[in-house]
């Protein structure tokens, strides 16, 4: 048992309640919120002057790309992929891929992100899954599927799908349910219609999420229209791939009918503002999507197209980028925090388990110190302080499944300083082979 004592709890429940309360964690779940006597033998974490928040959820990341941070700047999406990312991913061996995943997981957990939806590359996927198992993060993701287009990554359709199915059966539900499988066709331009049809059938049969990209870049959108005669989301819908199990990253250049498809089908969109800015892709119409009932989550995307996996950075961008177009009240701070918590949980199919601090839910929690000068003086709305002022470095403690994985700003599951010190040499080892 663990008691988080004396903090201010941002529950992110339906009322967005904020309480001065203690939180009791027992058997991996939130047992009680309020004032109570500390149970005998419980570990106590002092949260006085700190915010206790649900663990942050990033619903679109690429752990396989973390090792290539700072090596793919100054390009738009399609050139960035063909000239940098696809050759880099193809150069990975199992050692470098596991290293990349551990480096990313260390950054994510230290910054309060406890759950992710990841897209690996096409090979060595188990290296990422083993890193997630070791690191203690709540991981949903899978092997990237690509069977069309040029470059070093596309595989033959049938063996790629067989491997995805085999890995899913092996890993889905591993680590006490903390690791879950997702089917990850990269995007329309890299996937045959046959592959996408098989992905739909596997998703329906196994209940696995489908995690892909859609409408990120204008040139991509035009190529999809030329190839399929439809826009991205409309094409996915025609193939039966817009369902509550579908998560579409970016959704920058959506038409109004595509937005209505997302709302009607329950598919989730993932807003990645840092990546969309750095790749010059544009700004997704997030306020309009939210207003129309679309579930929108947040994600840092890949370290080479964002240079950070900091969820606080994404929240601040999401809260401010859209105001000139949609108005100063179009992105309330509490709802931006919801995109990084309860809405992210819904995208991952885990709304009943994580995303808010309520009795019975899994104890995925982060404690944030708001005493630093950049967070003071305190204002009346703690949601706003977290979204506009807080930083990843303000996170002091993190729990996943009731297990303390960060204590007093130190990661307990992986050696973060050692990973950081070795990262440049590991990146050179792989990139020098190109």
State the average pLDDT over residues 79-108. Answer: 97
Percent of the chain with pLDDT over 90: 98
Of 402, 422, 405, nearest to 414 by C-alpha is 405
Task: State how far the Cα of 53 lies from the Cα of 315, in Å rounded to an integer.
Answer: 14
Element counts in the chain: helices (H) and strands (E) = 17, 18
State the average pLDDT over residues 171-176. Answer: 98
Percent of the chain with pLDDT over 70: 100
Ranges assigned E (strand) in 224-340: 246-250, 268-271, 296-298
List, for residues 236-284, the tens digit of each pLDDT value.
999 999 999 999 999 999 999 999 999 999 999 999 999 999 999 999 9
Compute the mean pLDDT over every residue in the chain, rounded to the nearest whole number: 97
State the average pLDDT over residues 374-392. Answer: 96
State the average pLDDT over residues 35-57. Answer: 96
Q: What is the pTM of this model?
A: 0.98
- What's the longest Cα–Cα distance across the chain? 66
Contacts of 110 (CB under 8 A, 6+ apart): 392, 395, 398, 406, 409, 411, 416
Task: State how far the Cα of 265 lies from the Cα of 207, in Å rounded to an integer.
Answer: 16
Task: State how far the Cα of 434 lies from the Cα of 87, in Å rounded to an integer.
Answer: 7
State the average pLDDT over residues 151-171. Answer: 97
Q: What pLDDT, on the 0 to 100 scale, is given for residue 378?
A: 87
Cβ atoms 297, 346 nearer than 8 A: yes
State the average pLDDT over residues 8-27. Answer: 97
Long-range CB pairs of 199-204, under 8 A, 24+ apart, other chains included: 199/145, 199/161, 199/241, 200/239, 200/240, 200/241, 202/161, 202/164, 202/165, 202/168, 203/241, 203/243, 203/245
Cβ atoms 277, 284 nearer than 8 A: no
State the average pLDDT over residues 94-120. Answer: 98
Of 123, 5, 141, 114, nearest to 60 by C-alpha is 141
Q: Which band of pLDDT confidence, cut at 50, 70 and 90, is reported for residue 433? A: confident
Task: State how far the Cα of 101 lies from the Cα of 401, in Å rounded to an integer.
Answer: 20
Domains delineated in the chain: 2-54+357-410 (2.30.40.10), 56-347 (3.20.20.140)
Residue 150 vs residue 292, higher pLDDT: 292
Q: What is the 3-state secondary structure (H, E, C) of 60-116?
A: EECHHHHHHCCCCCCCCHHHHHHHHHHHHHHHCCHHHHHHHHHHHHHHHHHCCEEEE
């Amino acid at each position: 048992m663990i008691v988080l004592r004396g903090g201010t709890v941002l529950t992110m429940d339906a009322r967005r309640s904020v309480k001065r309360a203690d939180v009791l964690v027992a058997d991996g779940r939130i047992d009680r919120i309020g004032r109570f006597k500390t149970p005998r033998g419980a570990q106590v974490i002092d949260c006085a002057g700190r915010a206790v928040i649900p663990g942050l959820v990033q619903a679109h990341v690429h752990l396989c790309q973390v090792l290539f941070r700072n090596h793919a700047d100054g390009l738009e999406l399609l050139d960035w992929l063909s000239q940098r990312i696809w050759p880099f991913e193809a150069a990975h061996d199992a050692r470098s891929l596991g290293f990349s995943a551990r480096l990313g997981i260390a950054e994510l957990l230290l910054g309060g992100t406890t759950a992710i939806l990841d897209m690996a590359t096409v090979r060595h996927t188990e290296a990422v899954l083993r890193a997630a198992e070791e690191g203690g993060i709540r991981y949903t993701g899978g092997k990237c599927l690509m069977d069309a287009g040029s470059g070093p990554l596309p595989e033959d359709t049938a063996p790629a799908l067989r491997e995805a199915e085999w890995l899913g059966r092996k890993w889905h539900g591993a680590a006490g349910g903390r690791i879950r499988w997702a089917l990850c066709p990269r995007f329309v331009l890299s996937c045959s219609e046959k592959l996408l049809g098989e992905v739909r059938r596997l998703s329906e049969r196994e209940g696995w999420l489908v995690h892909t990209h859609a409408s990120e870049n204008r040139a991509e959108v035009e190529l999809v229209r030329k190839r399929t005669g439809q826009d991205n989301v409309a094409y996915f819908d025609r193939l039966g791939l817009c369902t509550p199990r579908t998560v579409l990253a970016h959704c920058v250049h959506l038409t109004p009918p595509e937005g209505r498809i997302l709302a009607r089908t329950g598919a989730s969109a993932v807003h990645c503002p840092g990546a969309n800015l750095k790749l010059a892709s544009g700004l997704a119409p997030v306020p309009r999507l939210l207003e129309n009932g679309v579930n929108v989550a947040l994600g840092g995307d890949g370290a080479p197209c964002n240079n950070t996996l900091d969820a606080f950075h994404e929240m601040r961008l999401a809260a401010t980028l859209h105001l000139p177009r949609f108005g100063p009240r179009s992105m309330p701070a509490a709802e931006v925090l919801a995109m990084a918590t309860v809405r992210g949980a819904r995208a991952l199919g885990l709304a009943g388990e994580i995303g808010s601090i309520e009795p019975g839910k899994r104890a995925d929690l982060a404690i944030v110190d708001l005493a630093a000068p950049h967070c003071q003086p305190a204002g009346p709305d703690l949601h706003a302080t977290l979204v506009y002022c807080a930083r990843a470095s303000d996170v002091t403690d993190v729990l996943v499944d009731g297990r303390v994985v960060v204590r007093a700003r130190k990661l307990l599951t992986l050696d973060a300083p050692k990973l950081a010190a070795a990262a440049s040499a590991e990146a050179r080892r792989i990139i020098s082979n190109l």
